[in-house]
Amino acid sequence: MPFLRIVCSVRLRAIFLALCLMPVGTPTSALARAGNACPTTPAKLARQPQITLPPDPKISSKEIAFEVDLGSDGHVRGLQMDQGSGDGAVDLSVKQTLETASYDPPQTGCVAYSGGLRVGFTLPTDNATPAPPPAALNATCTPYVLAFLTPVARDRKRTGTAVVAVQLDAAATRTAEPVLKKSTDSPVLDQEALRIARTGQYNFLQGSACAPQPFTYNLELTFQ
């Protein structure tokens, strides 16, 4: 899917950009609501941050894109660049802004959980060239994960956050029983966290420059 074009302005030699969130293939069912108090929504920016680029940026590509790995409270667990601008200072400025931006984690059935999203935008320059063809996949980075979970009705008086280790192969298929790494301090919720991890479906973030590979994914679940 192409990047969305945005309107930019130049003020005091600084360029202010509005981010455009790229869809990452979230199923239509993820947009349905599981009750008024428990919407089912994908990971997204809570609000669009304002990015100030350095003066006289030397941009050689019209497109820039980053992957963000969010925890279940919306904090950034990891961030990596898929497509650079050609200017290291520009890339760093955008990266630092995205690291401190506000996000909403994915959630379903009154459970917020960790997940990835891809953010990209078009750069404001007349001299830039279209994005180069995709390079070979990077085997040194770890692809971020999209999880599709199916929690059930529960007693919402119990709340807490669990972390469950899920072993995935290069096709993002679970290969072993999930292991509880962080307890909610509630045996009932811990068992529900393990059940959610066991019955969930996993996929790698679309458009990632990271080569698919086996690894252990730390699924974070916050019962609200």
pLDDT tens sequence for the chain (224 residues): 333 333 333 232 333 344 443 434 333 333 333 345 788 999 999 998 888 888 888 888 888 999 999 999 999 999 999 999 999 999 999 999 999 999 999 999 999 999 999 999 888 766 666 666 666 788 888 899 999 999 888 888 999 999 999 999 999 999 999 999 999 999 999 999 999 999 999 999 988 889 999 999 999 999 99
The answer as to whether 202 is a domain residue is yes
The answer as to whether 52 is a domain residue is yes
Phi-psi bin for 100: left (phi > 0), alpha (psi -120 to 50), beta?
alpha
What backbone phi and psi angles, to 5 degrees, belong to 155? Answer: -75, 110
pLDDT given for residue 131 in this prediction = 60
Query: In Å, how far are 24, 156, 159, 161 from 186, measured between CA atoms?
Result: 34, 12, 8, 10
The answer as to whether 191 is a domain residue is yes
pLDDT given for residue 2 in this prediction = 31
pLDDT given for residue 134 in this prediction = 63
pLDDT given for residue 39 in this prediction = 85
pLDDT given for residue 98 in this prediction = 95
pLDDT given for residue 199 in this prediction = 96
pLDDT given for residue 126 in this prediction = 63
The answer as to whether 3 is a domain residue is no
The answer as to whether 121 is a domain residue is yes
How far is 98 from 77, CA to CA, in rounded Å?
12
The answer as to whether 91 is a domain residue is yes
With tokens 């990047």, the residue in question is 3
The answer as to whether 34 is a domain residue is yes
The structure's pTM equals: 0.79
pLDDT given for residue 28 in this prediction = 34
pLDDT given for residue 19 in this prediction = 41
pLDDT given for residue 33 in this prediction = 38
Residue 146 is part of which domain span?
A: 9-223
Q: Which residues contact 144 (CB under 8 A, 6 or more apart)?
A: 67, 68, 69, 78, 80, 115, 116, 204, 205, 208, 210
Helix residue ranges per DSSP H, the chain? 88-99, 187-199
- Number of structural domains the chain divides into: 1
The answer as to whether 4 is a domain residue is no
